[in-house]
Structure 1
Amino acid sequence: MLKPNNAWTWYFDTESESLMLDLGDDMLFRVAISAKHLIPDAFSESPFSVEDASLFQSMTDTLSCLDLSAPRRAELALNAVAAYRFHKPILPKSWFFDPQLEPLSAPECGQVVELQSQAGDRAPFLIIENAGSASLCMLAREADFQLSDNKTLAFCGAIKVMNDRLSQFIPQTNNRKGRFALVG
């Protein structure tokens, strides 16, 4: 399990045009946010703060309900921290999603929700930030999410949607191996 420490450092790598997190011990993490969606602060070196570490731990705990391996949960949590800290404000793209009969009115940062696209795809998303009537969400499924017939969103991809598109996420129970008998 990845444990944050005060040696971790955010920096922008001009060669790969990517925000990176130096984890020490010759380990680097490449953030999944494109350079055009980063705020100016992302282009200056800065330490992984106590707030970053707290958010990372909170996200990691929340993501345990997802059917992802521990390394993929860590990847999602680090991308979520980067998005929370460095993602530019963007406009909602709610037209890709169906309004919900029982939407979540006040989703919280770190909450896992579900979105259903008009293309018929359904997947869990992690709330990065709630801006009142809309939230920045990050895809929390490894398989691409079908937004429309010709547009997809990749794992850790961020999109902002109106909160009336969000619904409660109900984790799938793992398939249990073996047979059970009813008794009594």
Structure 2
Amino acid sequence: MKKSFFIISFILLSLTAFAQITVRPGVRGGVTISNITNGHGDANTDFYVGGYAAIKFTRFYVLQPELTYSRQGTKDFFYGIEDGYDPIIDGFNSFDKDLEIQYLNFTIANKFSPIPNTGLNFIVGPSFNIKVADNYDHQYHNITGFDFALLAGIGYDFPFGLGIEARYNQGLIDIFGYDFVDDYDDDDDNYF
């Protein structure tokens, strides 16, 4: 009898717990300010747009898978044969370029609300970024087709459904795909 009571109680509590879960889809859009870590260039300002599904498990925690298209990059100088052969310096010269990289980002944002029933939240999670296109046409190196990033941020969700966020994403993969280890010049990307 006790065993049956515990099993029935467990099932009822489980059903109650699952009944509390809510899913809310939405759209995202905003501004990206990006740069390449350890680069010499200036930040590049562009945009991102996408969608999400906010899965609210408790008053304190929301799991938010996201699919986002973003444009990132930097304004920097590069070395190469971009402007043609220069016999004085063996064909390699420096040139200024606005490097633009377009990504399809798969993000798993974990939103924690320290004060229940308020809109304030802290955001952490990984982001898996697949390169869609870029304008980098260097003869010897290409930008890698994949980037893995970690993100952290803060946000506020208003009761009427609009939310604002500030996030910092740090790429962990050398986007130029060099085959050697260079701790000084680790060309990851980061964006805000």
TM superposition score category, shorter chain reference: under 0.3
TM-score by length of structure 2 reads 0.22
**Normalising by structure 1, what TM-score?**
0.23
| Pair member with larger Rg | 2
* Higher percent of residues as helix: 1
